[in-house]
């Protein structure tokens, strides 16, 4: 699972993320009418520094040197934040101009009033974006679009085929509780593991996984067993790759196709597979925070990133599928590892959540069901056991 939901229920500057969401939902969306709509003009942004908060690489800093030099703009990065920290940073007024918008948190970010809507009609490349990610209800609300997709992928596990019997490859995450796998797999320290367990148990919903307290107790117990059987938590995709290459672990839950390329460079052949009950994917977008000081310059920069060669370079750098249909020919052969039929079609809201299912509870759940805060709190306790 390439982009992980938040690992914990963050308390940031004394504010819980669920409290921020509750406050946001009880007030009007003040950014709704503050659409970033002017035609992009980077030449008018001389000397501007765009401040980015989000996931490493998604701001495009590493591939935009020529742009920065030509227009005398700079990119300042904060890539240490997780999903909850991004929301909290904007809610307390930190003036970021660019922001990662992970699909699983997009609606939470919109509900928390942290993003400005973007007038996509002024973006020349918008018409060339793959419909599966651009015409997607997960980044839309009230007739507005709140993010420009910059990368996408799916959710494999990665394994060392020399260390795994073919007939023992897991079909669900619960298969890892088989004694065969004891202390032989690694996994991210993320509450999303509970989501995969819930899916394996058959607990699903069209727009998220909502569990009763009894169901959640079962999932929590299975989560404890999953962590107890694991060899270790992995800290990054590079760390996961190194452990598989060295033979320290046989399988990495929550992997990434790019790890196959990483391992090849180290002289080891890895493979990837999928849990049969989770065939969904992910996509991340760039958004413009409500606190942006240079929103028009941010839009100009995003427009530049969307150009075919630039978006191909960005996708290659973050080893993800490109979001511009005209970018595919510019991808290096080693980066053509995604099935573009998954995003090359017009989608409906129903198809959105089928192709990109949200495995976490929604912003609100039925009375008595486990909330997102419950999930994160439970994972904090579970993860402390490893």
SS (H, E, C) 142-207: CCEECCEEEEEEECCEEECHHHCCHHHCCCCHHHHHCHHHCCCEEEECCCHHHHHHHHHCCCCCCC
Whether residue 6 is contained in a domain is answered as no
Domain range for 230:
156-279+367-383
Say yes or no: 122 and 189 in one domain: no
Rounded distance, CA 353 to CA 136, Å?
9
Say yes or no: 36 and 140 in one domain: yes
pLDDT of amino acid 190 = 85
Whether residue 211 is contained in a domain is answered as yes
Say yes or no: 18 and 130 in one domain: yes
Calculate the average pLDDT of the chain. Answer: 86
Say what the pTM is. 0.75
pLDDT in tens, 63-95: 999 999 999 999 999 987 678 889 999 999 999
Whether residue 3 is contained in a domain is answered as no
Secondary structure element (H or E) that encloses residue 19, with its range? helix 17-25
Whether residue 4 is contained in a domain is answered as no
Q: How many domains does the chain have?
A: 2
β-strand 15-16 against 11-12: which pairing, if any? antiparallel
User: 213-229 and 372-383 helices cross at what angle (nearest 10)?
Assistant: 30
- Strand ranges in the chain using DSSP code E only, listed in sequence order: 11-12, 15-16, 49-53, 74-78, 98-102, 115-116, 140-141, 144-145, 148-154, 157-159, 185-188, 232-234, 251-253, 271-273, 281-289
pLDDT of amino acid 303 = 96
Whether residue 179 is contained in a domain is answered as yes
Say yes or no: 178 and 49 in one domain: no
Rounded distance, CA 290 to CA 96, Å?
8
Whether residue 5 is contained in a domain is answered as no
CB 114 within 8 A of CB 30: no
Give, as one character, the DSSP assignment of residue 6: P
> Which pLDDT tens digits describe the chain residue by residue (386 residues)?
444 443 333 322 333 444 444 444 433 344 445 888 777 789 999 999 999 999 888 999 999 999 999 999 999 999 876 788 899 999 999 999 999 999 888 999 999 999 999 999 999 999 999 999 999 988 999 999 999 999 998 778 999 999 999 999 999 999 999 999 999 999 989 888 898 898 889 887 555 678 999 999 999 999 999 999 999 999 888 899 999 999 999 999 988 877 888 899 899 999 999 888 665 678 999 999 999 999 999 999 999 999 999 999 999 888 889 999 999 999 987 778 788 887 888 777 777 766 776 667 877 888 989 998 899 899 999 998 75
Say yes or no: 23 and 147 in one domain: yes
Say yes or no: 308 and 170 in one domain: no
Say yes or no: 90 and 27 in one domain: yes
Say yes or no: 161 and 259 in one domain: yes
Say yes or no: 24 and 125 in one domain: yes
Whether residue 140 is contained in a domain is answered as yes
| CATH code at position 95 | 3.40.190.10
pLDDT of amino acid 31 = 44
160: its two tokens: 């060392």
Say yes or no: 303 and 321 in one domain: yes
pLDDT in tens, 129-163: 999 999 998 899 999 999 999 999 877 899 999 99
Whether residue 97 is contained in a domain is answered as yes
β-strand 74-78 against 281-289: which pairing, if any? unpaired
Say yes or no: 69 and 166 in one domain: no
The residue assigned the tokens 């990133």 is 305
pLDDT in tens, 247-293: 999 999 988 877 888 899 899 999 999 888 665 678 999 999 999 99
Say yes or no: 102 and 189 in one domain: no
Rounded distance, CA 324 to CA 134, Å?
9
Phi then psi dihedrals of residue 38, to 5 deg = -65, 150
């Amino acid at each position: 699972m390439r982009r992980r939901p938040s690992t914990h229920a963050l308390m940031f500057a004394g504010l819980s993320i669920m409290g921020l969401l509750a406050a946001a939902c009880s007030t009007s969306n003040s950014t709704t009418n503050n659409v970033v709509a002017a035609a992009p003009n980077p030449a008018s942004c001389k000397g501007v520094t765009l401040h980015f908060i989000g996931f490493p690489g998604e701001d495009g800093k590493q591939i935009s040197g020529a742009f920065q030099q030509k227009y005398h703009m700079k990119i300042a990065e904060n890539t240490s934040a997780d999903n909850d920290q991004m929301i909290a940073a904007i809610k307390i007024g930190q003036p970021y101009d660019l922001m990662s918008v992970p699909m699983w948190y997009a609606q939470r970010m919109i509900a928390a009033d942290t993003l400005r809507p973007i007038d996509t009609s002024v973006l020349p490349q918008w018409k060339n974006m793959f419909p599966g990610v651009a015409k997607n209800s997960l980044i839309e609300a009230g007739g507005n679009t709140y993010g420009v997709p910059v990368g996408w992928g799916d959710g494999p596990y990665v394994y060392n085929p020399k260390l795994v019997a073919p007939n023992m490859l897991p079909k669900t995450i619960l298969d890892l509780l088989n004694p065969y796998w004891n202390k032989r797999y690694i996994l991210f320290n993320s509450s999303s593991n509970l989501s995969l367990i819930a899916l394996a148990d058959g607990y699903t919903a069209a727009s998220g996984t909502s569990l009763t307290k009894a169901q959640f107790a079962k999932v929590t117990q299975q989560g404890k067993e999953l962590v107890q059987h694991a060899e270790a938590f992995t800290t990054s995709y590079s760390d996961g790759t190194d452990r598989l290459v060295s033979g320290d672990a046989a399988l990495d839950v929550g992997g990434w196709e790019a790890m196959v390329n990483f391992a090849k460079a180290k002289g080891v052949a890895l493979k990837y597979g999928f849990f049969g009950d989770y065939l969904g994917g992910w996509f991340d977008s760039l958004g413009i925070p409500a606190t942006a000081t240079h929103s028009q310059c941010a839009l100009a920069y995003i427009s530049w990133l969307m150009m075919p060669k630039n978006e191909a370079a960005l996708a290659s750098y973050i080893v993800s599928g490109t979001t511009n249909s005209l970018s595919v020919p510019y991808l290096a052969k080693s980066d053509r590892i995604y099935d573009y039929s998954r995003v090359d079609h017009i989608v409906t809201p129903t198809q959105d959540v089928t192709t990109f299912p949200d495995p976490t509870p929604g912003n609100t759940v039925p009375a008595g069901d486990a909330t997102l805060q419950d999930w994160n709190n439970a994972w904090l306790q579970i993860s402390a056991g490893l």
